[in-house]
Structures are given as structure tokens and as C-alpha cells.
Amino acid sequence: MYVGLKEYLEEKGYSQQKIASILGVSVPYVNGVLVGSKTLGKKGAKKWANLFGLSENFLLTGKGSPDPAKDEDYHKQLFNNTIQKANRFVAVLNYLVDEGYISNHLSVANRLQVTDAVVSKAKNYDPEGDYDFLFVKLAHEYPFISIEWMLIGEGEMIKDVPRDEYQEDIEARMLQKEDKIVALENELSIKDTQIDSLHRELLATKNESSSKDMTIKTQLELIEQYKIRINTLELENNKLRSDDMMKDYHFPVGVADERDERDSLRV
């Protein structure tokens, strides 16, 4: 059934003994799979595919190539699986929003301790979305969601949880929300007190600054007045010195006699 599987595994360095050791099975069982006398179910095909890098589609159908890169049917199946897993992932997110567990799709990232980009990639049908990782995280955070349904689509999304247990879970989450609201209100009250204190400090600083500005202004005005007074005193002093110099000044001999003589002629 699995044409070319034995040769492909040998090229990758996997002998029948090594395969048996990895799987924890007998060599005859491995030989039976390789020669086609035994077939693998879904779980076995998935296990072989993950451990040895094989095409899961090839192991289930015997068609195509054991090499995933060369198996077109495998890529088609992988794409379809991605679409189906993305649809189930979005269905879970919608349920959590409707039931009030999260406010929006991206807010689940914080609950799962992953980045927004990881959630966004998965919900947008990205082939590189790490769906299985997210499903395990979701099942751990929300035990009432079936991991079997998320991984392979079997059964119901929500487990058959007893009503009392479900109600207890809801009430516990409501209490957590109320405690968080109280904590936020207390934090807000502390912040308001700090803001009031800073506001009062700011007003005091402004008043002090205004008072200093007035003092500086007054001092500058006094300095200007002193400058004017000094200039005035200097002018008066210079005038007095000039007058004194005129009083003490002696005219040259002969100049006064000629002036007296002219004065006598006028008479």
C-alpha cells in the first residue's frame, strides 16, 4: 500500500530497527507497515508523520508521495485542515465573548499568555497559525471546552458540565471581576489623591514664583531709581566743580587793563 515508503525512510537514515526503537514497537510490525501488509489508522498516521516527517495524507490513503513537499494532496488537505481549525478557533472565541469570559477576540491573548499577533494570525486563517498550541492553552484556561472538538472536530464544543459546576465557574469569574473592579477603584482613588497633592504643590510653586518675580521687579525699579539719582548727583557735582574753577581762574595781565580803558572811553 505504501509504495516507496521504505526507500524514502532509508534515504532519511531510518532503518527498521531505529523506527521500531523510536515508536516502541517490534521490528516485524514496522516491516509489515513498510511492505504494506499493515495499515495505519488516524492516530498512527499522525504519529508517523510527526516523528519521521512524512505525508499524513499518504499514510492514510497510500496515494501521492511520502514526502510532504511533493504531495499535492497533502497540501490540499493541510489547507482544508487549516480552514477547519480556524473556523473552530473563531467559534470558540465567539462563544467566550458571548458568555462574557472575554471582551473581544484579541483579549483572549492575555488570558492565554500569548501575543495579539499569535491570536490574530490564527483567527485570520493563516497556514502558519499555531492552532494546536492555542487549543491546548484554551482547554487549560477553559476546561469546559472540548480539546477533542478543537483539534479534530469530533463531539461537541462544550463539554456536558453539570449545571451546578458551570454556575460555580460563572460565579467565581464574576467575583474575580468584582475584586478587580474594587482594586481598580482603590488605585484610582490613590491616583486622585496624588493628583490633588501635585496640584496643590504646583499652585504653591506658582505663588512662590510670582512672589519672587514681584521682589525682583521691585529691586530692579529701585536700581533704576538709584541710577537716575546717581546721574543727577554727578551732573550737579560737575556743575559745582565747574563754577569753582571759574571763580579761581585768573585772567592774563594786560587783558583787564585794556578792558578798563575801553570802558573809560565809552563814558
For 36-45, 130-139, 209-218, 249-258, which range has the lowest pLDDT when averaged over its residues? 249-258
The pLDDT score that the predictor gives to residue 26 is 92
The pLDDT score that the predictor gives to residue 262 is 52
The pLDDT score that the predictor gives to residue 168 is 66
Instruction: Say whether both 88 and 145 belong to one domain.
Output: yes
Instruction: Say whether both 98 and 41 belong to one domain.
Output: no
Residue 242 lies in a domain: no
Residue 100 lies in a domain: yes
Instruction: Say whether both 87 and 60 belong to one domain.
Output: no
Instruction: Say whether both 145 and 103 belong to one domain.
Output: yes
Sorted by sequence, the CB contacts under 8 Å of residue 166 that are 6+ apart come out as: 144
More confident residue, 8 or 262: 8
Kindly tell me if the per-residue pLDDT of 172 is higher than 60.
yes
CA 198, CA 8: separation in Å to the nearest integer? 74
Question: Per-residue DSSP letters for 109-161?
Answer: HHHHT--HHHHHHHHTT-TT--HHHHHHHHHHH-TTB-HHHHHH--S-SB---
Residue 121 lies in a domain: yes
Kindly tell me if the per-residue pLDDT of 18 is higher than 80.
yes
Task: Report which DSSP code applies to 251.
Answer: P
User: CB 134: neighbour CB atoms within 10 A?
Assistant: 23
Instruction: Say whether both 81 and 148 belong to one domain.
Output: yes
For 67-71, 137-141, 243-247, which range has the lowest pLDDT when averaged over its residues? 243-247
Instruction: Say whether both 81 and 60 belong to one domain.
Output: no
Residue 183 lies in a domain: no
More confident residue, 187 or 244: 187
The answer to whether the CB of 37 falls within 8 A of the CB of 47 is no
Residue 236 lies in a domain: no
Query: What average pLDDT score do residues 104-124 get?
Result: 92
Q: What is the CATH number of the domain that holds 48?
A: 1.10.260
* Cα distances (Å, whole numbers) of residue 22 to 19, 25, 30, 48, 106: 5, 8, 11, 10, 40
Residue 263, C-alpha cell as written in the block: 570802558
CA 230, CA 253: separation in Å to the nearest integer? 41
Kindly tell me if the per-residue pLDDT of 251 is higher than 50.
no
Of 27, 45, 66, which one is at a domain's C-terminal end? 66
The pLDDT score that the predictor gives to residue 170 is 64
Instruction: Say whether both 105 and 147 belong to one domain.
Output: yes
User: CB 139: neighbour CB atoms within 10 A?
Assistant: 19
Instruction: Say whether both 22 and 44 belong to one domain.
Output: yes
- Cβ density class 66-76: b for 16+ within 10 Å, e for less: bbbeebeebbe
Instruction: Say whether both 144 and 104 belong to one domain.
Output: yes
CA 159, CA 259: separation in Å to the nearest integer? 139
The pLDDT score that the predictor gives to residue 134 is 94
Residue 123 lies in a domain: yes
The HSE-up count of residue 17 (CA atoms within 13 Å, CB side) is 0
CA 150, CA 171: separation in Å to the nearest integer? 26
Identify the band that residue 118 occupies on the pLDDT scale cut at 50, 70 and 90.
very high
Residue 174 lies in a domain: no
The pLDDT score that the predictor gives to residue 88 is 94
Sorted by sequence, the CB contacts under 8 Å of residue 169 that are 6+ apart come out as: 144, 161
For 112-126, 135-149, 187-201, which range has the lowest pLDDT when averaged over its residues? 187-201
Average pLDDT over the chain reads 81
Instruction: Say whether both 91 and 139 belong to one domain.
Output: yes
The pLDDT score that the predictor gives to residue 106 is 92
CA 206, CA 212: separation in Å to the nearest integer? 10
The pLDDT score that the predictor gives to residue 267 is 47
What's the pTM? 0.41
Of 36, 66, 96, which one is at a domain's C-terminal end? 66
Burial of 5 (0-12, 13-18, 19+ CB in 10 A): buried
Show the domain range for 17: 5-66
Residue 197 lies in a domain: no
Domain count, the chain: 2
Of 152, 182, 201, which one is at a domain's C-terminal end? 152
Nearest to 93 by CA among 150, 33, 38: 150
Kindly tell me if the per-residue pLDDT of 234 is higher than 90.
no
